[in-house]
Amino acid sequence: MKTRSIAIVAIGVLLLNIAVFAKPDTRSTAVKKARAAKLVAMLPASDGVVSFDSKRFLSEALPKILSSNQPMLAEVNAKITEMENRTGIDLRKFDQVAVGVAFKQISAKETDYDTVAIASGDVNAGALIALGRLASNGTYRTEKIGERTVYVFTVKDVLQKTSIKTTNSTVTDVVDKALKGMTKDIAVTAFDNKTLVMGSLARVTETLEGRSRVAAELSGLLSQKDTSVLTFAAKAPGSLRQMLPLDNDELGNSIDAIQTLSGSMDVTVAGTAVSMLARTKTADQATGIKDLLDVGQMLGKSVFGNSKRPDQQVYARLIKAAKFDAKGTDVTLDILVPQADIDMLIKKVK
C-alpha cells in the first residue's frame, strides 16, 4: 500500500507538470484560493494534505526549474505520454489538485500511507474516465457508492500496455519503480462533471461519503501562503527520530518534539522560494530546534565556505541564505534559491 500510495502522488504530480501544453494562467488569486480551499474541504480526515496550483506548475514552475536540463524535461514529457497511453486519462488539463494522505504506523521505523487525490478543472471528468476504461481493455470492476459509480482499475494489468522508450535518467528510474510498485487496485470516479477523485477504494469511499474532514489544524496551515505553487501540512508520523539515522540524543529529542510540519514553494522572478514550518509542543522546544539549526548553518558555512568547486559554492550560498526563526512553538525556515543556482544543481542531474 505504501508504494502504491506514493506512486499515486508521484504520478499525479508528474502528470500535472508538463509546460509544453500549458496555457496562460489568468485566474485571480482569490479564485485560485477559493478553488483550492474547496478541494481541501472535500478531502476526508487526513494526516497529511498537499494542495497544488497545477496551472502555475505548468506555466511557470516546471519550465523555470528544468530550464537548464532539457533532456530531463523531455524524459518527463515521455513518461506523461506513457501514462496517458496506459490509462487514457490526461490530467494535464486540470487546474487544481488536493491530496489527502492517511498514515498508519507499522513499526517504530516504518509508516504506511493511503492516499486520495482530487483534481478539478475545465474538463469533462466523465469522458476522461470513459477513456480510461477503454485504455484498460476491460481490466476494471465497478462499485456503487451512493449514487456514484466508482471504477476500480487493476493496475498490474493496465501497466502491461506498450511503454515509451526513454533513457535511464534519475527521474524516469524513480517513476518506473513507482509504476511497477502499483500492483494493487486504484479507484477513480467523477465527483461532478469537472472534478475527478482517484486513490485507494477505501479513501475514495471516505471522500464520497463525506463523513469526515481535514482537521482545521492542518487546513489552516495550508492558507499561510496564498500565492504559492504548492503548499502542504502534515502531522509528524510517529517518532521522527526513529525514521532518521540520528546518533545524537540531543538532536533526536529535538526532532521528536515536532508535532506538525508545513511548507510551501513559490516561483518568482528572483528564483524559487521555499518556506518550512515545524510546530512543537512548547516554546522551549522550538527555541532548541532553532539553536540547532543555527549551529548547523555555522558548520555548513565552515565546511563549504572556502571551496573552489562550483557545486559546493552553491551549497555554501544556500546555507548562508537560509533564514531561521522561532516564535512561540513554531520554528520557521525561509530560503530563496536564485535561478542561476537552480540551473547549476539541475543540469548535473542525469
Going from N- to C-terminal start, the domains of the chain cover 2-214, 236-346
pLDDT at 36: 86
Cell output for 205: 469511499
Which position has the higher pLDDT, 182 or 88?
Answer: 88
Write down the pTM of the prediction.
0.78
Which position has the higher pLDDT, 77 or 277?
Answer: 277
Cα 200 from Cα 99, distance rounded (Å):
12
Q: Which residues contact 66 (CB under 8 A, 6 or more apart)?
A: 72, 73, 76, 346
Helix (H, G, I), strand (E, B) or coil at 297: helix
One DSSP character per residue, 159-227 reads TTSPPPP----HHHHHHHHHHHT--SEEEEEEEETTEEEEE-HHHHHHHHHT-----HHHHHHHTT-TT
Which position has the higher pLDDT, 322 or 21?
Answer: 322
Determine the distance from the C-alpha atom of residue 231 to the mean position of all C-alpha atoms in its chain, rounded to a whole number.
9
Residue 167 phi/psi, 5-degree rounding, is -75, 170
pLDDT at 13: 40
Q: In what order do the strands lie in the sheet with 195-199?
A: 140-145, 148-154, 185-192, 195-199, 110-120, 96-107, 48-53, 230-235, 258-267, 271-280, 330-338, 323-327
Cα 80 from Cα 346, distance rounded (Å):
20
pLDDT at 162: 41
Q: Tell whether the model's pLDDT for residue 8 goes beyond 50.
A: no
For the packed helices 283-304 and 249-256, what is the interaxial angle rounded to 10 degrees? 130
- Residue 40 CB neighbour total at 10 angstroms: 25
Cell output for 138: 476491460
The answer to whether 215 touches 29, Cβ cutoff 8 Å, is: no
pLDDT at 218: 92
Q: Highest-confidence range of 14-28, 144-158, 168-182, 254-268, by mean pLDDT?
A: 254-268
Lowest mean pLDDT across 5-19, 81-95, 134-148, 195-209: 5-19
Q: Tell whether the model's pLDDT for residue 173 goes beyond 70.
A: no
Q: Calculate mean pLDDT across residues 124-129.
A: 81
**Confidence band, pLDDT 50/70/90 cuts, at residue 224:** low
- Residue 127 CB neighbour total at 10 angstroms: 13
Q: Tell whether the model's pLDDT for residue 251 goes beyond 70.
A: no
C-alpha distances in angstroms, 286 versus 205, 260, 328?
38, 12, 7
pLDDT at 337: 92
Q: Tell whether the model's pLDDT for residue 241 goes beyond 90.
A: no
Cα 27 from Cα 53, distance rounded (Å):
11
pLDDT over 90 for what percent of the chain? Answer: 35
pLDDT at 329: 95
Length of the chain: 350
Burial of 94 from C-beta contacts in 10 A (0-12 / 13-18 / 19+) = buried
